[in-house]
Chains A and B, each alone.
Chain A
Amino acid sequence: MSEVIHTDHHAADYSVDQHAGGQHGPEKGLARWLFTTNHKDIGTMYLWFSFLMFLIGGVMALIVRSELFQPGLQFLKPEFFNQMTTNHGLIMVFGAIMPAFVGLANWLVPMQVGAPDMALPRMNNLSFWILPFAFGIMIWTLFSDGGGPNFGWTFYAPLSTTYAPDSVTYFIFAVHMMGASSIMGSINIIATILNMRAPGMTLMKMPMFIWTWLITAYLLLAVMPVLAGAVTMMLFDIHFDTSFFNAAGGGDPVMFQHIFWFFGHPEVYIMILPAFGIVSHIIPAFARKQLFGYDSMVYAVASIAFLSFIVWAHHMFTVGMPLAGQLFFMYSTMLIAVPTGVKVFNWISTMWKGSMTFETPMLFAIAFVVLFTMGGFSGLMLAITPADYQYHDTYFVVAHFHYVLVPGALFSIIAGVYFWFPKWTGKMYSESLGKIHFWLSFIGVNVTFFPQHFSGLAGMPRRVPDYALQFADFNMVSSIGAFIFGFSQLFFLFVILHGIKSGKPAVARPWEGARGLEWTLPSPAPYHSFTHPPVVTDAEVHG
């Protein structure tokens, strides 16, 4: 049994179904979600899954912030505190941010390139369904003897080998599964973008979200296997007596850090490039102008992706590298500010003299530009090798990467959800509720993370359950902010459910400034996006 899609332009009938005439709809019940090959169903599952992981990882963050509300040990044993910071990081990176972007890609890539579905729909379903199993394993280890992963999300050897709890074996296999999921997802996205674009959509007419995801997919393909290699070597060090990360046998624990960060730094850009794409759609839509400097935006993303492969050791300036290595990685890191600056100035130039309105997606997008830039600046400070000796492993680092990941990556995802919500559901969310959500999040995120710059510069180390008295005030403020931010995301859930249930019907193009093929489809979009390749008009290019 199969359904088929016309991709020829001349075909007259819109029928795509062999079972019965007319538009083929989804199956009923659980089977729809378990067995689906539809990019929208799979995208929806990715998005809900990532939101669930976001809440679980968020609860872990709040447990951490509760313990840190005051100096001294209040609620947790230090061992459990370590498990919470570790799993918070792992779940947010691999379970919340990355799957959310893949979910957005699933929804948007076929619609934006004018394709009926993803190129390899069965594999698409496999990519998703691996994730609940992988995270099931990881979360389950928290309840096993000896506890879950407790070595930090970067799982440095020998903490993750010689001194690791038994659960590390399951953690390693869970990482293998996530890697397989990401690789298959990337192959699917690459094949869809390169193979299934509507006639006339040349590479330099592709929407920015497509460009950023195409490049992100290549980053994933290049580094997820390296991560798999790293955890494989861990597995062998733990169970088969090898000595990759053990100097007693001629290996080197620092080698683990090199291999990990060869994966880890491109991974950072994997979590931000699609965000750049989303913001590059939203700002032009609400500034009612074309994106400023489209070509330079594309080249900037490509440059950032290239540079991401030659900066990894700036994460490990203090472990003992030859001076030449430190200098190289310092300068190459600073170089990234150039293409990133191009992007920030282009977004600002897009807004310049635009007819701006400030709907919820735009608010999140502007907050993204401002706060991500701050995260970028603190990154530049960290890139300066001698200064990094002071900042390394302090809360300044925590503040830095949370500024690029929370008001950076996460805000862009939330902005994207509000922006495309009418297209997905056919309903409008409540603008006033959305704005409340924005302001709560904006205030919460800054109250949480801004004080961490100060406690970090004053020397508070990260990953500690207890701290010296002089850091008490900043930590108390930070914990209050974390709870504001955490509960405002439950409010986000309410805004979304409220919109789905009782939102006003949405028109095909709810934002009159929005450009792109997805807005030529009705709202909600039909189950199969484009049964015939659409005509790519100039009006819909570079939205």
Chain B
Amino acid sequence: MANPAEDSSIYYVPHNGWYPVVLAGAVMLTLTGLGSYLNATSAGGSGSLTQAMIGFGLVAVVLYFWYAKVITENRQGMANEALKRSYVWGMGWFIFSEVMFFAAFFGALFYARVLSVAWLGGEGAKGITGEYLWPDFESVWPVMSTPNPGVFPGPEQNMSAPASVAGWTGYLPFYNTVILLTSSLTVHVAHGAIKESKRAKLNLWLGLTVLLGIAFLCLQVLEYVEAYNHMGLTLGTGIYGSTFFLLTGFHGFHVTLGTFILLVQFLRARKGHFTAEDCFGFEAASWYWHFVDVVWVGLFVFVYIV
């Protein structure tokens, strides 16, 4: 009888399973619940998140069983080299699609900064727009006073980097940059530890990476609290607040995901799941982490500094 655990030439085709269809239903439950909540609250009422929570709980449960199954199969030796290559291709191109997701938001940022704000301020090829609509609006970035402050009151302060180097000592995004860059390094050292088969070293550096991820998130929460409570910078303060929060917010969401994925890898590492030859779960997580890090560098340059 053919058995992929004994014959590595066999491409493992999993048997029928309930995860995909239940996951699809759970996603629908989550999103329709979220949708009705948003519609209710935007209409001024009070919505309920119960359905969305149940849906999300179901998503989490399915994903737990699904990943557990894949890990078990892999540890039983079902996955041959070809299947592992499929995982590598899959993760790589998934990250590419994530890059394109952020590209849409960066595109919006550049379009606003280079074109639409300038035109609204009466500059450039379509400057007549501004002359007709809001002749008093001046084109500067960050936009501190929006074209129509009655609808979108501008922020009181923005997040741009301080001009002096001394000012950077109290500048949160600078510390966050240091934290994330360091965490890319620590996860790389952890990878080296797997390759050297040193489990204690792996646990130490991977655990450190997770802590750095959590530290980043704490600082970002602090930054948002600061923005909302003391700087008058919210989602509703025009195009600067919109791009700032959407870009940093979706990045923060990805850091949250990445930290969680690394935490799972940490728990797996403590169980001794990874060997020098077979550690793609860890490698995929670290690729994702490096990707999140690269996006941050782009954010730091184009949202905070330039």
Contact = CB atoms under 8 A, between A and B. Distances in A.
Contacts of A3: 13, 15
B73 interface: yes
Contacts of B80: 7
Contact of A250 (B24, B78, B112): B112
A6 B10 contact: yes
Contacts of B211: none
Contacts of B9: 6-8, 11
Contacts of B124: 322
B212 interface: no
Interface stretch (A240-248, A460-468, A511-519): A240-248
Interface of B: 1-4, 7, 9-21, 23-25, 27-28, 31-32, 34-35, 38-39, 41-43, 66, 73, 78, 80, 82-83, 85-86, 89-90, 93-94, 96-105, 107-108, 111-112, 115-117, 119-120, 124-126, 129, 133, 143, 146-148, 151-152, 234-243, 245-246, 250
A34 interface: yes
B239 to A, nearest CB: 3
Contacts of A236: 235, 242, 246
Contact of A36 (B16, B115, B133, B147): B16
9 contacts: A34-B21, A37-B14, A125-B21, A129-B24, A172-B35, A225-B100, A226-B103, A233-B108, A259-B107
A120 B10 contact: no
B89 A133 contact: no
Nearest to B99: A225
A31 B16 contact: yes
A249 B147 contact: yes
Given A6-B7, A250-B147, 10 more contacts: A34-B21, A37-B16, A125-B17, A172-B35, A225-B98, A242-B246, A246-B152, A249-B239, A250-B143, A322-B126
A111 to B, nearest CB: 15
Contacts of B21: 34-35, 125-126, 129
Nearest to B25: A133
Given A130-B27, A226-B101, A259-B108, A5 B10 contact: yes
A320 B126 contact: yes
A87 B146 CA distance: 36
Contacts of A242: 235-236, 241-242, 245-246
A258 B10 CA distance: 47
B17 A15 contact: no
Given A190-B93, A194-B89, A248-B151, A226 B104 contact: yes
A183 B95 CA distance: 11
B252 to A, nearest CB: 15
B246 A250 contact: no
Can you list the 8 inter-chain pairs with the closest CB atoms, starting with the nearest? Answer: A229-B104, A241-B236, A250-B239, A8-B9, A252-B116, A249-B152, A126-B20, A322-B125
B104 A230 contact: yes
Contacts of A119: 83, 86, 89-90
A125 B238 CA distance: 42
A255 B111 contact: yes
B146 A248 contact: yes
B20 A122 contact: yes
B171 to A, nearest CB: 25
Contacts of B66: 122
B15 A37 contact: yes
Interface stretch (A216-224, A345-353, A383-391): A216-224
Contact of A248 (B1, B41, B147, B246): B147
Contacts of A129: 20-21, 24-25
A177 B82 contact: no
B245 to A, nearest CB: 8
A241 B112 contact: no
Contacts of A223: 100
B90 A191 contact: yes
Contact of A224 (B3, B97, B115): B97
Interface in A172-201: 172-173, 176-177, 180, 183, 186-188, 190-192, 194-196
